[in-house]
Amino acid sequence: MKNRLPERLSHTLTTIRLAMNVVTDSKKVQLIARLAGISVQKITPLGQGATSAAWHVTTLKDAFIIRLMPAGTKRPVTYQSEFTILRMLRREGCPVPEPVMSSVEQAIPLNDISEPWAITRVVPGVAMRDNPLAPELAHELGRFLAIVHSLPVTGFGRLIEKPAGLTGQQPDPLTGVRARWCWADLWPFDGSKFEQHPFSLISPHIQSKMQMVKEAIIDSIVDKPVALTHSDLHGEHIFETEGSLSGIIDFGAAFLGAPAWDFAVIAFYHGWPAVQATLSGYESPLNKEQLLLQVQLLALVVGLYKLSKAVKIRAPKTKVARIVQILSGVLEEVR
């Protein structure tokens, strides 16, 4: 019993601290909403993502999402580039959130709030979450990605924060990819040895095949078309209404790279049938057969990155096993 008391006390103190943070942050959300002229009826915490904490804010006739970047986060502030992307896509008729106001664009500072923040209108529908990506919805997603990938861009990698135009911060595609996927090992783009990767340690029999495709993976992003990519199209970011695509949210991880990255992420989260269905709606001058080969190779990179990150943060064994299973399926698709 004596040994468990500090653990219980620590858990209690953590719970109290989190509750105090929610109250403090909710007051900040109230201040932000007031600055934007939003008459708040209800504030509902939505949780903490990779870059921001988010709240659902309702009025009598409208609804908004207010995001606040917690102090001390190591993630870059991307609210300006996100707003630039949203405005460009809305002009093309795409179902993305309407940007309302952000701390980057707001000239009047809030004395009690030092953290960056942003307000967007809520998109209609509900997030897919873990639901399967139906063929009809995937087809619409393909049409959406064709527009995203057709926007004019310059450079590579993460976007420069500016109110107009899409310009990458990095000078070449390799450093651009490393800048985007920078929170864990990124074989084969980071110079690491595959023999030391968790997938190799768990499944050593795949080492020879991985070494065979190493150069093909690197070549798949060199001297290839570059486009704006969302790069994080999991179910929480895809909204539907009665089976139709009603919204795509969160461009915080957007970067300039090969269009195949978006399909590689779809392969990881939604499976290969979803990739094929998405490509059916993807009207683009790119050769789809060559694009699919590129997707197969980059889907391996996405899976390896996710596995490395999961092991790094000591994720539950069930999650690690699920990623290994996905990776094994992806490897079977690579020709």
Same domain, 172 and 189: yes
Strand partners, 64: 57, 121
Residue 188 DSSP SS3: coil
Closest CA to 297 of 213, 236, 231: 213
Between the alpha carbon of residue 248 and those of residues 50, 94, 126, 230, the distances in Å are 17, 9, 11, 9
Q: Could you tell me if 57 and 131 lie in one domain?
A: no
Q: How far apart are CA 246 and CA 140, in angstroms?
A: 10
The β-bridge relationship of strands 238-241 and 156-159 is: unpaired
In a domain, 23, yes or no: no
The model's pLDDT over 230-280, given as tens digits with 9 standing for 90+, comes to: 999 999 999 999 999 999 999 999 999 999 999 999 999 999 999 999 999
What range does the domain containing 188 cover?
A: 127-333
pLDDT at 152: 98
CA atoms of 295 and 260, how far apart (whole Å):
5
Q: 50 with 197, same domain?
A: no
Specify if 16 maps to a domain.
no
Q: 238 near 141, Cβ under 8 Å?
A: yes
Q: In terms of domains, do 195 and 237 share one?
A: yes
Section 40-69 average pLDDT: 94
Identify whether 208 is part of a domain.
Answer: yes
Q: What angle do CA 47, 185, 268 make, to 5 degrees?
A: 60
Are 68 and 194 contained in the same domain? no
Residue 1 resides in a domain: no
- As a whole number of angstroms, the distance between CA 228 and CA 331 comes to 26
Return the pLDDT at 15: 41
Please state the domain count of the chain. Answer: 2
Structure tokens at 43: 């504030």
Are 160 and 57 in the same domain?
no
Check whether residue 212 and residue 84 sit in a common domain: no
Q: Name the pLDDT band for 107 (thresholds 50, 70, 90).
A: confident
Residue 118 inside a domain? The answer is yes
Q: Which CATH number covers residue 274? A: 3.90.1200.10
Q: Would residue 55 count as lying in a domain?
A: yes
Q: How far apart are CA 100 and CA 64, in angstroms?
A: 9
Tell whether 105 and 178 lie within a shared domain.
no
72 pLDDT more than 60: yes
CATH of the domain at 101: 3.30.200.20
Q: Which of 87, 122, 157 is where one domain is finished?
A: 122
Distance of CA 323 to the CA centre of its chain: 17
pLDDT digits (tens, 9 = 90+) for 176-195: 999 999 999 999 999 999 99
- Same structural domain, 103 and 158: no
Residues 177 and 276 in one domain: yes
User: 328 with 249, same domain?
Assistant: yes
Residues 153 and 45 grouped into a single domain? no
Q: How many whole angstroms separate alpha carbon 55 and alpha carbon 44? A: 5
